[in-house]
Amino acid sequence: MHIALLLVTLSAASAAPNSWSLVPSFNSFFKEQGDNVVSWYNDAANMKDSVENYVEEQQRMFKDKFNDYVDDIQENGRHLVDSTYSSRESSLLDNPDIILSVPGIITRNGYICETHTVISQGYVLNMHRIPRSRSHSDVSPKTVLLQHGLFASSADWIMNGPGKGLAYVLADAGYDVWMTNIRGNRYSKDHVWYKTNSQEYWDFSWHEVALYDVPAVIDYIMEIKGTDTKISYIGHSMGTTILFAMLTLRPEYNNILTAGFALAPVVYLSDMKSPLKSMAPIASNLAYIDSLQGTYEFIPKNSALGQISSTCSGENMDSLICKNIVFYLCGFNERQFNKTLLPVFLSHLGTGTSWKTAVHFSQEILSGKFAQFDYGYWKNWRVYGTQSPPDYDLSKVTLPIKLFWSKNDLLSSEKDVQALYDKLPVKPDMFLVPDEKFNHLDYLWAIDAPRLLNNEILSSLEAHMPDYSFTVRF
């Protein structure tokens, strides 16, 4: 249309007296437009350089402060305040869990820890295993696979310490405990051929974890222990998303697993109460902006989380800011909040995930569906053969399931949990945590976790393993 209009204008000009006198004005016009384009690109390049410089400066600042923090811990080892802390007096404790790895923490607490490696689609996945309790020498035939949530790692299951952390509780109850680490986190960062700063490396969401990685882990455990091994799956938050996606994409695992336990299920998200929901409409745009800078990892470890971890230690851990980091996003529950664990929790948080994972969750929030990744109209046709991504077919889920939920969970609401319940063909058991204030992270670090949660998990496991009955109470 623009070309036709230009030709008509030139024709009219050529028919007019002294028509060629108009040509310089056209030349001036196009030169001006060309100059504008060049200027725009120069401005865009300068803006990109400014953004990159700003990001590099912020990352350098956070990294320097985090390194100073770690150096100080290594030198003094006195960065945590006792649970009896008050603003006037405090008792400083040594807590190396802030800087120890998961195997280091487990070993420090007197348990055996093994690291096992599985390669899935080139990703080198490292699992942590507690094969038995401190008081037994034989490996238990009873096996549990623990799958952590977003921004997390196997550390989730041990941070609450012996007697409270679920991995320790299960080991003490006679279980062989396997803890996964999803592709991209600090323990599963390597890849056979991709570099970790490449777009190809970060081209995944929880869909690929469910389709390839967790099945590979389960197959590996059965290879080690025998194909008749009874394996129960316990997932928290995104760990539940992975479970239900896997059971629809790889329905044969409905018959391989013994039971599934979903802590704070995150499948349907349209009723999410957390302020994180407000980020959903702009997640794709933010991911695109980061991609222009060559960044495909969502909230890398050297980002603001390191600064937050440093800030929320010592005398600051009781501040409103530090508490609200958790309460604002996940639900207020000060009674179950062990403030001495906050620096430990934050130091193990932010272990690496992809922007694609964050965008996938934002699509779930906006669509109200449990569906595969939405690439947009044209790429959906190429990938799926349809204009919209297919839903995960929950009618294929036949594994015995138990859903654990709480009324104060801002990320997993009662309405969304009920929507999941309604979609499952084999109706799952439901357990409402008996604490009105129990929030999304209390599943991992609640002070009263044994009474409120762990005993119910243990009794539910007993019901699905009649040949290995046991009774443990705390």
Neighbours of 140 (CB within 10 A): 20
Q: Residue 278: which pLDDT band, with cuts at 50, 70 and 90?
A: confident
Looking at residue 345, its pLDDT comes to 79
User: Which amino acid appears at position 172 of this protein?
Assistant: D
Q: Residue 38: which pLDDT band, with cuts at 50, 70 and 90?
A: low
Q: Residue 276: which pLDDT band, with cuts at 50, 70 and 90?
A: confident
Tell me the percentage of the chain whose pLDDT exceeds 90.
58
The answer to whether 116 is a known catalytic residue is: no
The Cα 64–Cα 42 span in angstroms is 32
The answer to whether 440 is a known catalytic residue is: yes
Q: Give the mean pLDDT of 118-139.
A: 92
Pairing of strands 231-236, 176-179: unpaired
SS3 content of the chain, % helix, strand, coil (to 5): 50, 10, 40
| CATH code matching the domain that covers 73-468, chosen among 3.40.50.800, 3.40.50.2300, 3.40.50.1820, 2.30.30.100 | 3.40.50.1820
Q: How far is CA 226 from CA 128, 219, 220, in A?
A: 19, 10, 10
Instruction: Out of 17-26, 139-148, 311-320, pick the least confident.
Output: 17-26
Q: What residue spans define the domains of the chain?
A: 73-468
Bridge partners for 404 per DSSP? 263, 431
Rounded to 5 degrees, φ, ψ at 38 are -60, -45
- The tens digit of pLDDT for each residue in 331-381 reads 566 677 777 777 787 778 767 799 999 999 999 999 999 999 999 999 999
Q: Residue 460: which pLDDT band, with cuts at 50, 70 and 90?
A: very high
* CA nearest to 106, candidates 124, 130, 127: 130
Q: If DSSP codes are grouped into helix, strand and coil, which group holds residue 364?
A: helix
Q: Give the mean pLDDT of 145-153.
A: 95
Question: Does this model's pTM top 0.85?
Answer: no
Does the pLDDT value for residue 412 go beyond 80?
yes
Neighbours of 152 (CB within 10 A): 25
Tracing tokens 């996964």 back to the chain, one arrives at: 180
Q: Write down the mean pLDDT value for the chain.
A: 81
- The tens digit of pLDDT for each residue in 381-408 reads 999 999 999 999 999 999 999 999 999 9
Give burial (CB, 10 Å; 0-12/13-18/19+) of 390. middle
Q: Residue 11: which pLDDT band, with cuts at 50, 70 and 90?
A: very low
Rounded to 5 degrees, φ, ψ at 10 are -65, -40
The Cα 234–Cα 263 span in angstroms is 7
Looking at residue 23, its pLDDT comes to 46
The Cα 218–Cα 214 span in angstroms is 6
Report for 208-222, 327-341, 441-455: range of highest mean pLDDT: 208-222
Q: Give the mean pLDDT of 1-23.
A: 42
Looking at residue 127, its pLDDT comes to 98
**Given 237, 347, 354, 412, which residue is catalytic?**
237
Q: Give the mean pLDDT of 48-71.
A: 52
User: Which amino acid appears at position 422 of this protein?
Assistant: D
Looking at residue 275, its pLDDT comes to 82
Does the pLDDT value for residue 185 go beyond 70?
yes
Q: Which residue would you say has higher pLDDT here, 156 or 88?
A: 156
Tracing tokens 């896997």 back to the chain, one arrives at: 246
Does the pLDDT value for residue 202 go beyond 90?
yes
* Residue 47 host element (H or E): helix 23-76
Q: Which residue would you say has higher pLDDT here, 196 or 45?
A: 196
The Cα 90–Cα 92 span in angstroms is 6
The Cα 63–Cα 68 span in angstroms is 8
Does the pLDDT value for residue 91 go beyond 60?
no
* CA nearest to 188, candidates 175, 172, 199, 204: 204
